[in-house]
Structure 1
Amino acid sequence: MNSFYSLPITVRRAIEVMGLFFLGWIIVLGNGILAPIFMAFFISIMLLPLLQFLCRLKFPEMLAIAVSLLALIVVLGLVVWFFSSQISNLVRDFPTIQQNVMGHLNSLSTWVEEHSPYSSEEQMEFIRTRSSTILNYAGSFLSGAALSVTSIFVFVGLLPIYIFLMLFYRNLLLRFVFLWFPEEMHGRVGEALHEMQIIIKSYLFGLLIQVSYMTVLVGGTLLIIGIKHALLIGVIFAFLNLIPYVGALLGNIIGVLLTLASSSELWPIITVLGVIAGAQFLDNNILMPRIVGSKVKINAMATIVGVLVAGEIAGIAGMFLSLPIIAILKIVFDRSQKFRQWGVLFGDERPERSPMRVPALRKKSEAVHEQLKRQNEIEPPHEDV
């Protein structure tokens, strides 16, 4: 290790970049294996308070883990049941949806005919000539979807096994982590692990609360107004909203499409967009900051890049996991003098003045780092675990 740090700084930086490249390559190749492991890790952190509570009640450890896992399965089962009931309602309305879609398409065709040189017959001919391309694309999409369904079943099958094993071997895993570091660093390692647990629990429990109130805000408001499939729109938007930036856009599009298919008028679309915009404003500016807090701030650039990269590597699961993974990496980097620059890159400790003019901002000083945290109102974790 000392010989590595005796190398010229340019050589060290080149080795670090190569290491990041090969690490990314390994993650891409093994995303099918790593995605359920990461998901199981985060869910295990969420189940840990329940497990500790059951152990305090003198439950045997194996039984406490089984009860915790059963509680998770029941919650997920209720979510699946709710989605299936809402989808069945949507399927029952399929004839009406088909009629509304045809009405909207006819209106669009009339508008195109009035504002372009293409007649309705020419439009139909264009659609017929492109139908083979669309069918080929649909076939390839369905074959990919079938592959995705298989991977989802593998993912769901492995997840409870990984969760059980992580909870059962949690002390062994902690010992494994400590043995990687010399004894004089064990205090900092324990502090970092404690902070990670707080951040993960705070973030994931905050997301559960966010899904609940976003479903009530969006779905309940649309239900009162009289929008069809209001609860389905609310739940879909609430879950997609967990994906930073990208999810809210997808949720808006899906909500508009569902409303457009379920109604022959345009005012429900404006209503859905208005309700979603209002709920997002409350979520972003009032509710979510109070629930999750500001213990770790990830800047918007790192968030967007992380979501897109994680989505490319592991699909939807990667998008959901991107933010807590970046938060964990930031905690680790912030506590390492050698890699603090990466923590700065991920974080939102934005200096008010340029490092070009203030030499102190060019250093990896702990005092400067804490001062920037105070300037950006980033609170240190203070929860007891």
Structure 2
Amino acid sequence: MNQLPLTVRRSIELMGLFFLGWIIVLASDLLAPLLMAFFISIMLLPLYRFLVRRKLPDGLAIGVSLLLMAVVVGLIVWFFSSQISSLITDFPVIQKNVTNHLTALSSWVSTKTPFSTQEQLQIINDQSSKVLNYAGGMLSGAATSVTGIFIFLGLLPIYIFLMLFYKNLLLRFVFFWFPTENHEKVEEGMREMEVIIKSYLFGLLIQVSYMTVLLGGILLILGIKHALLIGVIFAFLNLIPYVGALLGNLIGVLLTLASSPELGPIFIVLGTITAVQFLDNNILMPRIVGSKVKINALATIVGVLVGGELAGISGMFLSLPIIAVLKVVFDRSEQFKQWGVLFGEERPNRSPMEVPALREKDEVVQDQLERENEIDPTDRSSKV
């Protein structure tokens, strides 16, 4: 392929991206549990290896790992459902507060616009009818959606078990794709991918825990109702870069507005979320996840939006680890190295228009850029 003209090679790459996106859209129901199982199996590798070193058979070691994962997930579901139950218990108070807020808003609108209270009610009723019709259309496919979720949850542990059980077979399959002289580079890339995936996903798990405790605890001390529910919702939504934080703020405000007859708690919630998020983004998360591979903000936002468009919520959650894995692959391929540069955060201080060396795929220049941008070398000591 290197002997083809440059324009032909680039055209083939773009066509490949198009068909790859098309395949992902058509097979999203199949690929989503497979990708999720792949990343979870990477997370379970340390526990699986520990049990194997204790002379447990492969099947039993994988089963114990899955059982512990199920216990953790069960505790999360129990905690979330208990907070939802508390919210449902307060529903009469919430309904009263919402009515008071709507009445106050209606009075304010009457003083600022020519719409009377009756006209406002008519507009609200019209919009409510449209919303109900839209909701009815969504509910018509609810049975299919619920079935899809159960299929997803049913396939996930099966895929995880089989990926761990056939780990060595899958690795051999990967090596067969490459000539012998490239096997050392392939091994290095796979070790680096494992380190990146584990550090990123374990970092997210730790982040959800301390964000729930920190944000929920502070709001609880400040007297905000449903503080822990706001904390856990924001912690999970914050896993979706940029978009999730915005949704978390919005849901936190709505829960506070519905639970309180006053507006003061809203500013307390927004201020607390801002302070906790600043602490998380600038101090805690960089120390936990580290800087194994840095993805620039543009690639992150576009990746999240494209992932959401292709595969929904699961695509948004999986977008960053997938981009990180792709960057590792692209950085080690002469043919696709430019895509690794596009995803990375190795930003030159000077323009390639002025410095010709920045136009080349030079390893020395790349190492210099990584040092300038404080990108640490990846620990390759782990075993695949």
Q: TM-score range by the shorter chain?
A: over 0.9
Q: Which amino acid aligns with 1:24?
A: G
Residue by residue over 1:318-358, the C-alpha shift from the partner in whole angstroms, topping out at 9 and shown as x without a partner, is 11110000000000000111110000000000011101111
Change (3 A) 1:131 1:382: closer
Return 5+ residue gaps in structure 2 as ranges.
none
Show the counterpart of 2:357: 360
- Counterpart residue number, 2:107: 110
- Measure, in 2, the Cα distance between the counterparts of 1:381 and 1:342: 19
Q: Shift of the alpha carbon at 1:145? A: 4.3
Counterpart amino acid of residue 257 in structure 2: L
1:254 matched to 2:268? The reply is no
Instruction: Show the counterpart of 1:268.
Output: 265
Cα offset for 1:148?
A: 2.8
Aligned pairs (5 A) from 1:176-215: 176-215=173-212
Report the Cα distance in structure 2 between the residues aligned to 1:14 and 1:140, rounded to whole angstroms. 41
- 5 Å matches for 1:201-240? 201-240=198-237
Output aligned runs, 1:293-372, within 5 Å.
293-372=290-369
Cα shift readout 1:41-78 (whole Å, capped 9, x = no counterpart): 00000000000000111111111000000000010011
Aligned counterpart in structure 2 of residue 129 of structure 1, from 126, 130, 138: 126
Q: 1:318 to 1:371 in 2, by over 3 A?
A: same
Q: 1:98: which partner in 2?
A: 95
Residue 63 (structure 1) aligned with residue 60 (structure 2): yes
Deviations 1:76-102 (A, max 9, x none): 011111111111111111111111111
**CA positional deviation for 1:316:** 1.0
Distance 1:118 1:99 in 2: 24
Distance 2:83 2:338 in 1: 48
Mapped partners of 1:274, 1:145: distance in 2: 37
Partner of 1:282: 279
SS in structure 1 at match of 2:335: coil
Counterpart residue identity of residue 133, structure 1: K
TM-score normalised by the chain length of structure 2? 0.98
Q: 2: CA distance between counterparts of 1:164 and 1:95?
A: 46
**Alignment-derived partner of residue 74 in structure 2:** 77
Instruction: Choose 56-65 or 126-135, whichever is displaced more.
Output: 126-135
Amino acid at match of 1:299: N
Q: CA deviation at 1:130?
A: 3.5
- Number of corresponding residues: 382
What is the percentage of aligned positions where both structures have the same residue? 73
User: Which shows bigger deviation, 183-192 or 121-130?
Assistant: 121-130
TM-score, normalised to structure 1's length?
0.97
In the TM superposition, residue 146 of structure 1 has moved relative to its aligned partner by 4.2
2:188/2:380 contact within 8 Å kept: no
- Residue of structure 2 in register with 1:168 after alignment: 165
Q: Indicate how the Cα distance of structure 1 residues 286 and 253 shifts in structure 2: closer, same or farther if over 3 A, else same.
A: same
Distance 1:141 1:173 in 2: 40
SS of aligned partner of 1:66: helix
Residue by residue over 1:175-230, the C-alpha shift from the partner in whole angstroms, topping out at 9 and shown as x without a partner, is 00011001110000000000000000000000011011101111000011111110
CA positional deviation for 1:381: 1.1
CA distance in structure 1 between the aligned counterparts of 2:20 and 2:66, rounded to whole angstroms: 32
Cα RMSD, aligned residues only: 1.0
Provide structure 1 residue ranges, at least 5 long, that are not aligned to the other structure: none
Aligned counterparts of 2:345 and 2:173: Cα–Cα separation in 1: 31
Please, which of 238, 243, 250 is the counterpart of residue 240 of structure 2? 243
Alpha-carbon separation, structure 1, partners of 2:254 and 2:288: 31
